[in-house]
Amino acid sequence: MMNFVVKTLANAGALGVAIWLLQDITLTGESTGKKALTLILVALVFGLVNFLVKPVVKLLTLPLFILTLGLITLVINALMLLLTSWLADKLDLSFHVEGFWTAVLGGLIISVVSWALNVVLPDRD
């Protein structure tokens, strides 16, 4: 359970950094508390998408993974971020990613920050 909380907080932090750095990734809300709650909920959706959908997509794109020496992972991360944005819209969460190239850059930022936070944060279960 602790590992789940740590990963969710790392995702929330990484999403927060991407929102802060890229103007085309937006999170809106009336107050700071509402924005923080929305960010945690978006992090949960993002984690769920990465847990359920990403392995299937990676398996289906295995030949492209080999052919591009792993660079297809950037595209897959961008698609997972766009899927999260779409799901957030359907769940009435105020999170939006505008465009594919913004999603590629956002996915790269989220990957790096999430990795760094997972190194720093404790990994207990």
For residue range 20-29, what is the model confidence (pLDDT) as tens digits?
A: 999 999 998 8
Res 19: pLDDT: 94
Does the structure show a pLDDT above 80 at 15?
A: yes
DSSP string, the chain: -HHHHHHHHHHHHHHHHHHHH-TTEEE--SSHHHHHHHHHHHHHHHHHHHHHTHHHHHHHTHHHHHHTTTTHHHHHHHHHHHHHHHHHHHTT-SEEE-SHHHHHHHHHHHHHHHHHHHHHS----
Does the structure show a pLDDT above 60 at 82?
A: yes
The whole-angstrom separation of Cα 43 and Cα 57 is 20
The whole-angstrom separation of Cα 122 and Cα 124 is 6
Backbone phi, psi, residue 17, to 5°: -65, -40
pTM: 0.89
Does the structure show a pLDDT above 80 at 44?
A: yes
Does the structure show a pLDDT above 90 at 108?
A: yes
Does the structure show a pLDDT above 60 at 125?
A: no
Res 124: pLDDT: 63
Does the structure show a pLDDT above 70 at 102?
A: yes
Does the structure show a pLDDT above 80 at 46?
A: yes
